[in-house]
Amino acid sequence: MMVVHYTIPVFVPELGCPFQCVFCNQRKITNRKKIPDAEEVRCLIEEYLASYPRGKHHIEIGFFGGNFTGLPLDEQESYLRVANSFLESGKVKGIRLSTRPDYISEQGLHPLKKFGVTTIELGAQSMDEEVLIQSVRGHTAQDVEMSSQMIVNHGFRLGLQMMVGLPGDTLEKSLFTARRIIELGASETRIYPVLVIKGTTLAEWYEKGKYKPLSLDEAVRWVKQLLPLFEEAGVEVTRVGLHGATRLLRGEELLAGPCHESFRELAMTEVWWDRLKGIGQREEGEVILISVHPSQYNYAVGYYGRNRKRLLKHFREVRFGKDLKLKANEFWVEYF
């Protein structure tokens, strides 16, 4: 039976964060304005647990949206006690949190371990110093390196988030960031194309013509080159694009940027087209069958059948099949 993974999201927007990065407006992104207390967190977790269908699950509790380790220790422990009670009862399998790279310390990691935190995600965003400065991140690439080493050494699962299209960013710098994330021992990553959100410094720069976001095509072209790097290194890409962005950033909140509900599928369509476009035609009017791992089927066919349509310019009929024996990046072609 397939194990279904769920993460119960607990948003603590901007709590403990002393900086206002040029792209950030967490309350708009998360659609949360009120900071939950411990009892509200307990009720939220219970509601999520009750909503999941029966079956074999791997459930985590995730504290997102702020700088968790920047909170006063008693507030951290208040939230973690609640989460830990569900961990000890066996109702969840893990606890994760997101925080800033410059708010990790040896001393601060001990209570996280005590309360059963399993995964720590750092908002690295970029490993290029100039990009970090222009984005007013308030931390350095060295902060990311030092914090990552501490997290890994203490036995936590390390996640490193990155953004593409920040002020001063280039494709080469994003590729460098991806390679450093791999080298630092991350088990997982998230890739977020930068969106221009109302109420941010970036919005002011955009309206004054001082910042130009990536187009959707540009963002897809960048990300399609990042995804194979992580795949080959065994780094899990847990998210690509801001999930639910169109729904959450309602009305005029989203000013510009490569926002698309199916961003990952768009990027993976292009990853697969790079693999498939070299398929040679043996005879005019042939029929081909392309077999891929089941997890890659939709990506290989392409967003709205885009790759199938491209191949139909060269073949009379293009079929796709599923083969569990293939690896995620492998395919097999048969000609008829």
Which tens digit of pLDDT belongs to each residue from 161-186? 999 999 999 999 999 999 999 999 99
Whether pLDDT at 16 is above 50: no
Q: What is the dihedral of CA 236, 109, 146, 154, to 10 degrees?
A: -60
Distance of alpha carbon 144 from its chain centroid, rounded?
A: 17
Confidence of residue 3 (pLDDT cuts 50, 70, 90): confident
197 belongs to a structural domain: yes
- Together in a domain, 288 and 165: no
Confidence of residue 157 (pLDDT cuts 50, 70, 90): very high
pLDDT at 206: 96
Average pLDDT over residues 265-290: 90
- Together in a domain, 255 and 290: no
- Together in a domain, 54 and 159: yes
Total number of domains in the chain: 2
- Together in a domain, 228 and 311: no
Measured from the Cβ of residue 168, the count of other Cβ atoms closer than 10 Å reads 15
pLDDT higher at 282 or 190: 190
Mean pLDDT rounded to a whole number for the chain: 91
- Together in a domain, 179 and 312: no
Whether pLDDT at 20 is above 70: no
Domain end (from 261, 295, 320)? 261
Average pLDDT over residues 149-156: 98
pLDDT at 253: 85
Please give the residue range of the domain that contains residue 328: 280-335
Phi, psi for residue 300 in degrees, rounded to 5: -65, -45
Q: What is the dihedral of CA 72, 73, 75, 81, to 10 degrees?
A: 170
Domain end (from 261, 293, 318)? 261
Measured from the Cβ of residue 134, the count of other Cβ atoms closer than 10 Å reads 17
Q: How far apart are the C-alpha atoms of 104 and 97, rounded to whole Å?
A: 12
pTM tops 0.85:
yes
- Together in a domain, 192 and 227: yes
- Together in a domain, 179 and 249: yes
- Together in a domain, 257 and 291: no
- Together in a domain, 245 and 310: no
Least confident of 30-44, 79-93, 156-170: 30-44
300 belongs to a structural domain: yes
Whether pLDDT at 245 is above 80: no
Confidence of residue 15 (pLDDT cuts 50, 70, 90): low
Confidence of residue 114 (pLDDT cuts 50, 70, 90): very high
Average pLDDT over residues 231-253: 78
- Together in a domain, 93 and 16: yes
Q: Report the alpha-carbon angle 271-328-260, nearest 5.
A: 40
Confidence of residue 24 (pLDDT cuts 50, 70, 90): low
- pLDDT tens digits for range 302-324: 999 999 999 999 999 999 999 99
327 belongs to a structural domain: yes
pLDDT at 251: 56
230 belongs to a structural domain: yes
Is residue 67 within 8 Å of residue 103, measured between CB atoms? yes
- Tally DSSP H helices, then E strands, for the chain: 13, 12
Whether pLDDT at 250 is above 60: no
pLDDT higher at 83 or 57: 83
pLDDT at 187: 98
- pLDDT tens digits for range 217-226: 999 999 999 9
pLDDT at 252: 64
pLDDT at 164: 98
Phi, psi for residue 236 in degrees, rounded to 5: -70, 125
